[in-house]
Amino acid sequence: MKIALAQLNPLVGDLSGNAELIFAACQKASTKNANFLLTPELSLWGYPPRDLLLNSRLFDLQTKILDTIAQKLYLENLNIGVFIGIAELIHDTQLPNLFNSMVFVENNSWKVVARKQLLPSYDVFDEKRYFRPSEDISTLTLKIDHTNWDLGLTICEDLWVEDSLQNYRTAGPDPIKELESHPIDLLINFSASPFSQNKSSIREALAIKAAKRLNCPVIYLNQIGGNDELIFDGSSFIINSNSEVALRMPLCHESIAYWEFKQSTFTTNSSLCNQKEELFEALTLGVRDYARKCGFSSAIIGLSGGIDSALVTTIATAALGPEAVLAVLMPSPWSSDHSVKDALELAKRLGIKTHTIAIKELMKTFDSALKVPLSRPLEGIAAENLQSRIRGTILMALANQQGHLLLSTGNKSELAVGYCTLYGDMNGGLSVIGDLYKTCVFDLCRWIDSDEAGSSRSDCNLPISGALIGNEIINKAPSAELRPNQMDTDSLPDYAILDPILQALIEDKCSPEGLIKSGQDEALVKQIETLIKKAEFKRRQAPPLLKVSNQAFGSGWRVPIAAK
């Protein structure tokens, strides 16, 4: 039995286009004599389709597409079956009225063969809004070359049932336990699992546990691609009958792999990428796909000479190519000469275009216009924020006129405590590093400049030798340069102190009381907690950000603005 695994990158809602991707994979797999092809969860729709699932006309289209694929497989004599992820309509009067299902298409026909049992409704997931859980396990017997093969079929969350390996699991049955009383030759998990740091190792541990419980190999097939805030990294794999990794597919790349069941004892020599490489490749894919799927061919960035904008510019160049990235320098009277110099030298190393627009005269014009209604000159934070808003207006005007995607450069530490300006540095169509704490930004930049990043830099057509970010930027004390000699530490604790507290409060859900008992300074913890609460209204108006942690300030963060 030869199986093809298609790690596909669908466009959400493009059923016709996704069907073309699937059929092209079928044609390719057929030339390799594969018996059947696997595609990811909801592969016909792309994941997550969200409220597109409420569009009734798409279900008529879905039926026509499945009929067409079945017919084309027959007419072209491809002699291959294909598993396709669909949204299955339930014909009754109850809501939700859909199953998250897999169909098997072959011989001019198709049928539903699996329905998802565990529906995640935590963090970014909201499947119970759309789907009903299946009450039954899914098995399928395929006859190949006069041999019957019994397959166990699970969909994404159905594999996540090990309390010892997870922080929490979706309430409901244990599909793996239910399959223990139904002997199978192979377990398949069709997934659309978003990237987050350290997730690859957890997935493999879950599959190894399932392989041991069921005494059979496990195929884990995952979607790839950026869909809005979510990045799907692929990283599909096979666990053989010895509970070893027999095959591992590439991170963040669309591909097809092949596996013969008789090779189930073979072990691959490939290993998981290191965390910095995973993060860099995921962010690069997220920017590339967000731009492509939203119809942008170029990006514009405000380049200040600071580390945040340097990292975003480097990621954008890796994602889109240097010819598609425009950096705009907007020095004020408080901008240091070395910041301008550092920004220009970074742009030169990356090979991107720059424009320099000094904002000194614009600041004077605004000051003059506001002096009358205020009865005095603008001052303090309002004056400092005005610089950011002037820059944001310039960037939006250029993006609007020239059709660029404006990339926001704020980090998670700033978003958390409100150290950012609405209608200023928060302007943009996508926040690239809005889920990276400032200390993580420094770590990733150091990795990019290290020899370890050579392979990733080469893959993205970045210069492979020498520093990209540069020590001048990395070693610079963080500053927004909004007034003479201003530093971030004038308003905030050092990021090495701030970030662990933020992570504990935001991601680990620690209580302030618990942090204080653990030895953290009480006044500091309460100050940070207050800043997080006060900044909620800002975050609600921020651009979508690329999620790379277990808790990002995106669709999975649902904190009220007006609340005690």
Residue positions annotated with a catalytic role: 41, 116, 156
Q: Which two tokens stand for residue 83?
A: 């598993």
Helix (H), strand (E), coil (C) string for 137-148: CEEEEEEECCEE
At 533, the amino acid letter reads K
Nearest to 457 by CA among 277, 213, 264: 277
Task: Measure the CA–CA gap between 69 and 73, rounded to whole angstroms.
Answer: 6
Task: Measure the CA–CA gap between 117 and 131, rounded to whole angstroms.
Answer: 10
What is the C-alpha R_g of the chain? 26
Residue 155 near residue 161, CB atoms below 8 Å: no
Nearest to 335 by CA among 305, 377, 312, 313: 305
Task: Measure the CA–CA gap between 424 and 363, rounded to whole angstroms.
Answer: 14
Reported as type and span, the H/E element at residue 158 is none
Task: Measure the CA–CA gap between 278 and 235, rounded to whole angstroms.
Answer: 10
Residue 132 near residue 90, CB atoms below 8 Å: yes
- Reported as half-sphere exposure (CB side, CA atoms, 13 A), residue 410 has a value of 29
Task: Measure the CA–CA gap between 526 and 516, rounded to whole angstroms.
Answer: 9
At 382, the amino acid letter reads A
Residue 432 near residue 308, CB atoms below 8 Å: no
Task: Measure the CA–CA gap between 355 and 485, rounded to whole angstroms.
Answer: 25
Rounded-to-5 percentages of helix, strand, coil across the chain: 40, 20, 40
At 231, the amino acid letter reads I
- The contacts of residue 223 (CB under 8 Å, 6+ apart) are 7, 8, 9, 10, 40, 41, 43, 46, 47, 191, 192, 193, 232, 234
Angle formed at CA 134 by CA 133 and CA 140, multiple of 5 degrees: 145
DSSP code for 564: -
Q: Where are the alpha helices (DSSP H) in 433-507?
A: 438-448, 454-459, 471-474, 495-506
Q: How many angstroms separate the first and last alpha carbons of the chain?
A: 60
Residue 232 near residue 225, CB atoms below 8 Å: yes
Q: Which two tokens stand for residue 484?
A: 């003479």
Residue 499 near residue 437, CB atoms below 8 Å: yes
Check residue 465 and give left, alpha or beta (phi > 0: left; psi -120 to 50: alpha).
beta
| Buried b / exposed e along 532-543 (16+ C-beta atoms within 10 A) | beebbebbeebb
